[in-house]
Chain A
Amino acid sequence: MRLFTGQRAWVVQRLSALLLLVLILLAMLALPFASPLDFSAWRALAGGALGGPLIALLFGALCAHAWVGMRDIVLDYLQPRGLRLAVLGLITVVLLGVLARVLLSLAMVALAA
C-alpha cells in the first residue's frame, strides 16, 4: 500500500470539509436560541444523546481534515525523507491526542450523568 494516497486523501479532505460546513451552519442556527451556558447546562449538553456525538463528530472531522491539510504542507515544503516522516509523525500524534482527549472528556461526562 502506498503511504500517501492521491484521490482518497483528496476525497477525505472534501468530505470532511462538507461535514464541517454543515456542523458550522447548524451551530450558527442553534446559537441565537442558546441561553448563556453555566457549568451544569454545558455538561448536560456535552453529555447528551445529541450534543456528545455531535462534538465527537466535529472533532473527528476536524482531525481528518487537518491531517490531509498538514500532510500536503509537509509534502510541499519538507523534502528530506527523514524530516518529513518525523514531522508527519508529530502531526499524527498531536491529532490522535486531540481526538483521545475529546473522546475521554465526553465519555467522562456521559458516564457521570
Chain B
Amino acid sequence: MRVLIVEDETRIAHNVATALREGSGFAVDCSDNGTDGATLAGQGHYDLLLLDLMLPGMDGLGIVRQVRARGDATPILVLTARSERANVIQLLNAGADDYLTKPFDLGELLARVKALIRRGKGVAHPVVAIGRLSINSIEQTVRCDGQLIDLSPTEYRIFEYLIFRPRAIVSKRELLEHLYDYRWEHHSNVIEAHVSNLRKKLRVMGEEATVETLRGRGYRLYAPEKEA
C-alpha cells in the first residue's frame, strides 16, 4: 500500500511517514506544500491521501475537491488543527472520508489509515479469508488453517495487495507503483523474485491458492472454487 502525506510541518510528516513505514509496511511519499501534493495525488498511485488542512500553495480542501472532481475514489484522511465544526462539515461534504484533529494519537492515526484503506478496497474486517488462507492486515500475517506462513515484509505486501483485488489482474507496474515510494529504485525483476518466493511458500503449506502469472499482463490471485 502506498500513502501520500501532504503536510507543511515537516517534523509531523516525517513522524507519520516513519510510523506508517515501520508499523504497517506502507510505502510513503511526503510533500510539504499543496501544489506539489495535488500533482502527486493526481498520479493515482496512492491507496490513501493524508492531507493537512492548512497548506501553503493549495489547502487541503482544494486538494480534496480536485481529487474528487477527477473521479478519483482514493480514501482521504484530513489532519486539522482547527476543529471548527463548519470546517469539518465542509471537508466531509467535499469528499474527504475522515478527519483527525491535531495533536492526534499516532496509534489512532495508523488504525484510521488502515481502516480507510480497507474500506477503500471494499473490505470491512481486517481479517480476510480465502479458502484455507486468512490474512490479518493488522498483524500483517498470513495463516493457512491457523498455521502461520512465514512471509517477508515485501512478500506480505504483494499478497495483501492482491488479496484486496481478488480475481483481478494486477500489472507489475501497478504493483510497483503501489508498493514502493519514490525513495526506491524501481527494478521490475524485484517483484518477480518476490512473487516466486511467495508462491513457493504457499506451495509448501500445501495450499492450492496461489499467485498466477499472466505473461505480459500481470498477476492474479488464484483460489480454486470450493466444492459444494
Is the pairing of A and B real? Answer: no
Interface, chain A (partner B; CB < 8 A): none
Interface, chain B (partner A; CB < 8 A): none
